[in-house]
Chain A
Amino acid sequence: MLPDPFPLLSLVVWTPILGGLWVLLAAGEKNAPTARAIALAISVATFLLSIPLYTQFDLSTHEMQFVERFEWIQTFGIYYHLGVDGISMPLILLTTFITPLVVISAWQVIQYKTAQYLAAFLIMEGLMNGVFAALDAILFYVFWEAMLVPMFLIIGIWGGPQRIYATIKFFLYTFLGSVFMLVALIYLYAQADSFAILDLHTVKVGMTAQILIFIAFLLAFAVKVPMWPVHTWLPDAHVEAPTGGSVILAAIMLKMGGYGFVRFSLPITPDASRELDWLMIALSLIAVVYIGFVALVQTDLKKLIAYSSISHMGFVTLGFFVAFSILEGTGSLQGAAMGMEGGMMQMISHGFISGALFLCVGVLYDRMHTRQIADYGGVVNSMPIFAAFMMLFVMANSGLPGTSGFVGEFMVILSSFKANFWFAFLAASILLLGAGYNLWMYKRVIYGKVANEGVASLKDINARELLILGTLAAVVLLFGVWPAPILEVMHPSVENLLQHVVQSKL
């Protein structure tokens, strides 16, 4: 007999966490192969468990699905409350999809404390799923913060030479952002007498309070996204993190910031969002344009991709917050919905593409132990298959039609045209800048004369790497030509979100 309702989300959250502990206890440090086998099995099992979230998903409703709700801390009205809608479900699938790839990518590379490494990733996977699935604000916060602990260790133990500086910076930045959110959530509790996120969506809050809450949320989410000017932790963290850490950071953690905006900021403080949308749009455009230029001059492969991530995430926030100008200008809900869906599509797609690019850099780094662009050149001569894959991901990152990178960018640019020509103009510069830094980097690394002995003796990717990159390539192309599966899942939830946004909460 299966319990009804079947606790699918709990399984998706707890399987990896318990699996991580199992890896630690069962395999220990002496038995790396066992650790790898268990970790792979657990991560694949979690992915399989998460598939019914998509197949059983009811596309006709914006209501939360797969809901589980138990009393957790009775004294303070905190519930263990999980559920997903069209906004969070794709992000959970993204997480469960990326984690097995990360586990595989660590197969030979991580030799130091393998079990701890894999366990940290599994535990983090569970916690990230928890963040996306939590419907109780405090439960959300617990997952949100707890996630910092494994990431702190991952960067600090397995990272590059500057890892300690980078990881402490990472932790303190994100911690700084989050604690204000905690105060804001407690304040909201005092108004709503509930920590359920959906109850917070309907609570009335005065303008001054809304603005303060909005700023508290902004601190938490902007650091995570990261938005200019609080982005400086990201290049450091990315550069120093091991490949797997970079992938998780770029592919999933950054998405939490974007998720936070649509789950908390927009529906809870719509009036403050409307009031301050100029700020958000300005910051997003600065990220897109200025960081785009910054990416252009990077000499370190990982830094370049890190800056490109910031620039792309600027698109996401632009898509979310341009809605107000559209509504004001044209009153078109559809236009606003397109911006938001574009932003969300961009999040998912960026998860695949940036993850793939970091894995590509990892492939090179494992062979050459350098990330400097100048140390490469002519890689295509020794690694043709790799060069082909990287070409695809680089193109996708510059938003080539036919890849998933195009869909989101196009939707956001299109909708920002409805708001203001200049928004769209500046946003569209990403196509130019993106193509610039991506292709220039690709040219310097892959083409040209064979730079040195090291490059000449490179071996092309092995079956394991082929599997990882091949899977990602397939997904990038699939959603590039057929994004409907993601968009139709999101649609009812985004419409519902917009209903909250247009409704004043004063």
Chain B
Amino acid sequence: MAFVTPDFVPAIPEIFVLGMACLALVVDVYITERYRLFTYQLAQSTLVASALMVIFLYPAEAVVTFNGTFVSDGMSTVLKVFILLVSYFVFFYSKQYLRDRNLFRGEYYVLGLFAVLGMMVMASAHSLLTIYLGLELLSLSLYALVALNRDSNEASEAAMKYFVLGALASGMLLYGMSMIYGATASLDLAEVYRVASGGQANDTLLVFGLVFVVVGLAFKFGAVPFHMWVPDVYEGASTSVTLFISTAPKLAAFAMAMRLLVDALPSLHGDWQQMLIILAVLSMAAGNVIAIAQTNLKRMLAYSTIAHVGFLLAGILTGTQSGYAAAMFYVIVYALMSMGGFGMIILMSQAGIEADRLDHFKGLNERSPWFAFIMLIFMFSMAGVPPFLGFWAKWSVLRELVAGGVVWLAAVAVVFSIIGAFYYLRVVRLMYFDKPEDATPITPGRDMRVMMSANGLAILGLGIYPGGLMAVCVSALGA
């Protein structure tokens, strides 16, 4: 077999991020504390430049390269753009927070860039091996990020927990992949698809593999009953890292689910639909109910994430193109809202104060009416109240469930949304109806104020006109 030079063009953004991450690593070693901001700026410009490249290289139709291990298509493009955008905001929100805590080191941004690279690879993976490669690159970077605050016992504990459970999940995933490989004799997703849907594979083996793959996916998503790590890691990690973990990686996990279940194994839709239904119902139930009992906002949002994952899986399990588009819309909206929610915790935290308890939000309307309003947008949006963006995310998933004939699941989903509304309302209640414990005004920097407001108003504005973003998702999946 002669060596053919692969077409590098579709992977230019990834190659660029890799190069820049290495460059940032080297540069960071040589600059003094005073110029630390340079690493940050380097990372941010990498994200922006890479996003422009992704948009510029948008392929008219799917391009597969590197011997069928890498694909660039509509879905990967859209997801990568949002992964980069969300990461940009995450890095931005974290800047002052890390400074105040003496954590403003190059490692955060270098590891962050590697994680971004991992996510981009996952979005574009076209072989079982590439999926795993991207996933591990992401996960290992995240384990290290969680442990970034090495003097904190909670952070170390969270990192350990995350690592052990994450490794277990990766093991499951890998085991499942090996069975799929055994059944189809290929790592290439297109080939897996061909063999599996052609009925030439051993079905028992394939379904067995599917079970493990779904378990691995559920771990990465944090779907019940594989959610145990989520609240502890969210709480233990420093908020800037939680912010990162809770947003962009969910986009990548969505990509992974789409590649594995939809691109490779649509012929087993009946099987994985059953599994996803169980995961979705349990996640919505447990996430929403347990969130009510939380007093720590980070834990509460962790359980809220679990509930959102349930909704997201409900979109995927419909098994239609428009259902996938709804799920993709949901995950993007979720990332934007979660970014805002954790961003608000960062904004409220000042040097020496971690505003991660619900009580910290008491009387925010007296301290800063504007940011109380922004947080109100995030909370009502997560609760799924129109006209905020979160409503449309729920709406599009419900619509697909009804269209797909699973009306009962739609009914279950709305019942748990009502339960969920309670704890989001509680945050609004604390901000608006209670008196502040400490009446010092909130004084974030001007740039933070602008970005946070942009984040909040985007949720409101896109909620009033959601058509554009929906259309992007629909066309990305060719539905």
User: Is B380 part of the contact surface with A, judged by Cβ < 8 Å?
Assistant: yes
Q: Which residues of B have CB within 8 Å of A148?
A: 385
Q: Which residues of B have CB within 8 Å of A141?
A: 386
User: Is B66 part of the contact surface with A, judged by Cβ < 8 Å?
Assistant: no
Is A186 within 8 A of B391, CB to CB?
A: no
Known contacts A142-B387, A149-B385, A183-B410; A75 and B471 CB within 8 A of each other: yes
Is A180 within 8 A of B411, CB to CB?
A: yes
Q: Which residues of B have CB within 8 Å of A164?
A: 429, 433
Q: Which residues of B have CB within 8 Å of A75?
A: 467, 470-471, 474
Is B432 within 8 A of A156, CB to CB?
A: yes
Q: Give the shortest distance, in Å, between B476 (CB) and chain A (any CB).
A: 12
A157 vs B434: C-alpha distance when bound (angstroms) = 9
Closest to B373 in A: A24
Residue among B369, B386, B407 having the largest count of chain A Cβ atoms under 10 Å? B386
Interface residues in A127-151 (C-beta closer than 8 Å to B): 138, 141-142, 145-146, 148-149
A435 vs B118: C-alpha distance when bound (angstroms) = 75
Q: Give the shortest distance, in Å, between B285 (CB) and chain A (any CB).
A: 16
Interface residues on B, range: 35 or more
User: Is B399 part of the contact surface with A, judged by Cβ < 8 Å?
Assistant: yes
User: Is B255 part of the contact surface with A, judged by Cβ < 8 Å?
Assistant: no
Is A116 within 8 A of B369, CB to CB?
A: yes
Known contacts A146-B387, A186-B402; A168 and B422 CB within 8 A of each other: yes
User: Is A41 part of the contact surface with B, judged by Cβ < 8 Å?
Assistant: no
Is A179 within 8 A of B396, CB to CB?
A: no
Known contacts A74-B471, A75-B467; A182 and B428 CB within 8 A of each other: no
A326 vs B271: C-alpha distance when bound (angstroms) = 54
Residue among A163, A175, A180 having the largest count of chain B Cβ atoms under 10 Å? A175
Partner of A175, one of B402, B418, B428: B418
A243 vs B387: C-alpha distance when bound (angstroms) = 27
Known contacts A116-B369, A189-B399; A73 and B407 CB within 8 A of each other: no
Interface residues in A166-191 (C-beta closer than 8 Å to B): 167-168, 171-172, 175-176, 179-180, 182-183, 186-187, 189-190
A156 vs B474: C-alpha distance when bound (angstroms) = 40
Is B470 within 8 A of A73, CB to CB?
A: yes
- Bitwise interface map of B from 403 to 417 toward A, beta carbon under 8 Å scored 1, else 0: 100010011001101
A171 vs B420: C-alpha distance when bound (angstroms) = 12
User: Is A365 part of the contact surface with B, judged by Cβ < 8 Å?
Assistant: no
- Bitwise interface map of A from 53 to 80 toward B, beta carbon under 8 Å scored 1, else 0: 0000000000000000000111110000
- Bitwise interface map of A from 179 to 217 toward B, beta carbon under 8 Å scored 1, else 0: 110110011011000000000000000000000000000
A495 vs B44: C-alpha distance when bound (angstroms) = 65
Interface residues in B72-89 (C-beta closer than 8 Å to A): none
A72 vs B426: C-alpha distance when bound (angstroms) = 32
Q: Give the shortest distance, in Å, between B361 (CB) and chain A (any CB).
A: 14
Closest to B400 in A: A186
Closest to A163 in B: B433
Q: Which residues of B have CB within 8 Å of A189?
A: 399, 402
User: Is B466 part of the contact surface with A, judged by Cβ < 8 Å?
Assistant: yes
Is A142 within 8 A of B386, CB to CB?
A: yes
Interface residues in B419-433 (C-beta closer than 8 Å to A): 421-422, 425-426, 428-429, 432-433
Q: Which residues of B have CB within 8 Å of A175?
A: 385, 418, 421
Partner of A72, one of B396, B415, B429, B467: B467
Is A186 within 8 A of B380, CB to CB?
A: no
Q: Which residues of A have CB within 8 Å of B391?
A: 142, 145
Q: Give the shortest distance, in Å, between A164 (CB) and chain B (any CB).
A: 5
Known contacts A156-B432, A172-B418, A182-B414; A76 and B470 CB within 8 A of each other: yes
Is A183 within 8 A of B429, CB to CB?
A: no
Is B380 within 8 A of A149, CB to CB?
A: yes
Closest to B466 in A: A73
Closest to A127 in B: B387
User: Is B398 part of the contact surface with A, judged by Cβ < 8 Å?
Assistant: yes
- Bitwise interface map of B from 442 to 476 toward A, beta carbon under 8 Å scored 1, else 0: 00000000000000000000000111001100100
Known contacts A153-B432, A168-B422; A29 and B369 CB within 8 A of each other: yes
A399 vs B123: C-alpha distance when bound (angstroms) = 68
Partner of B433, one of A29, A157, A176, A179: A157
Q: Which residues of A have CB within 8 Å of B208?
A: none
Is B407 within 8 A of A183, CB to CB?
A: yes
A142 vs B385: C-alpha distance when bound (angstroms) = 8
Partner of B411, one of A145, A168, A183: A183
User: Is A152 part of the contact surface with B, judged by Cβ < 8 Å?
Assistant: yes
User: Is B395 part of the contact surface with A, judged by Cβ < 8 Å?
Assistant: yes
Is B418 within 8 A of A176, CB to CB?
A: yes
Q: Which residues of B have CB within 8 Å of A153?
A: 428, 432
Partner of B425, one of A138, A152, A157: A152
A275 vs B466: C-alpha distance when bound (angstroms) = 39
Partner of A145, one of B385, B396, B403, B429: B385
Closest to B430 in A: A164
Q: Which residues of B have CB within 8 Å of A145?
A: 385-386, 391
Q: Give the shortest distance, in Å, between B434 (CB) and chain A (any CB).
A: 8
A173 vs B391: C-alpha distance when bound (angstroms) = 18
Is A182 within 8 A of B395, CB to CB?
A: yes
A198 vs B353: C-alpha distance when bound (angstroms) = 56
Q: Give the shortest distance, in Å, between B462 (CB) and chain A (any CB).
A: 11
A179 vs B418: C-alpha distance when bound (angstroms) = 8
- Bitwise interface map of B from 371 to 390 toward A, beta carbon under 8 Å scored 1, else 0: 00000100010000111000
Q: Which residues of A have CB within 8 Å of B421?
A: 171-172, 175
A180 vs B432: C-alpha distance when bound (angstroms) = 28
Partner of A183, one of B398, B432, B466: B398
Is B467 within 8 A of A179, CB to CB?
A: no
A449 vs B31: C-alpha distance when bound (angstroms) = 87
A295 vs B407: C-alpha distance when bound (angstroms) = 41
Q: Which residues of A have CB within 8 Å of B407?
A: 183, 187
A75 vs B474: C-alpha distance when bound (angstroms) = 8
Q: Which residues of A have CB within 8 Å of B386?
A: 141-142, 145-146
Residues of A within 8 A of B (CB): 29, 72-76, 113, 116, 138, 141-142, 145-146, 148-149, 152-153, 156-157, 163-164, 167-168, 171-172, 175-176, 179-180, 182-183, 186-187, 189-190
Add 15 more A-B contacts to A75-B470, A189-B399 (CB < 8 A): A73-B466, A74-B467, A75-B467, A113-B365, A138-B395, A145-B391, A146-B385, A153-B432, A167-B433, A175-B421, A179-B414, A180-B414, A183-B398, A183-B410, A190-B402
16 sample A-B contacts, Cβ–Cβ < 8 Å, listed by A number: A73-B465, A74-B471, A75-B471, A145-B386, A145-B391, A148-B385, A149-B385, A157-B432, A163-B433, A164-B429, A164-B433, A167-B433, A180-B411, A186-B395, A186-B402, A189-B399
What are the 8 closest A-B residue pairs judged by CB atoms, nearest first? A179-B414, A73-B467, A142-B386, A156-B433, A186-B402, A75-B470, A145-B386, A75-B471
Residues of B within 8 A of A (CB): 365, 369, 376, 380, 385-387, 391, 395-396, 398-399, 402-403, 407, 410-411, 414-415, 417-418, 421-422, 425-426, 428-429, 432-433, 465-467, 470-471, 474
